[in-house]
Amino acid sequence: MEFPQGEAEYDARSASEFYKSFGLTPGKDFGSDDVVIQLEYGYRVNLPFMKALNVKMIHTAVERAWTNGGFGILTAKEEGLELEPEGGIVFITRTGIRYHKGDCRYLRKSRIPIDLEEAKGKGYTPCKVCKPQIQD
């Protein structure tokens, strides 16, 4: 699988169901800032008194990418893109609908950094527990 080289390519591949052929669902199984490693291999099992059985195995690992210097965009530059987020960074979870401060208790298992304005644009609402500042 080739990795997307930016947010636009990630969004285009997600919309075209490119990742479905790999058994993955963007946003559920992984986000745009995650690293997905997939290993596919086959082996043959010889069984007595039966036809040999060919088995295909697929193992997938999803790891959080620490790409804050590039704001989640994979790039060939050493330093990433020189972008400055206007509204600040907040955090979302893989399955949630709210954005959070970095120290919120709801971020124990999943913690995906995202620009505040991007989070609002994608329909996320502020967490009622940590109450991240809304800059309007």
Calpha distance 111→117 (Å, rounded): 17
Mean pLDDT of 52-63: 81
For the stretch 90-101, pLDDT in tens is 889 888 899 998
> CA dist 30 to 48, 69, 70, 110, Å?
42, 20, 18, 11
Q: Which residues contact 11 (CB under 8 A, 6 or more apart)?
A: none
- Kindly report the pTM of this predicted structure: 0.37
Calpha distance 13→77 (Å, rounded): 23
For the stretch 77-129, pLDDT in tens is 444 444 444 458 888 988 889 999 888 888 877 788 888 888 889 999 999 98
- Tokens 């502020």 locate to 126
pLDDT at 115: 87
Among left, alpha and beta (phi > 0; psi -120 to 50; other), residue 88 is left
The domain segmentation of the chain, as residue ranges, is 1-77, 84-125
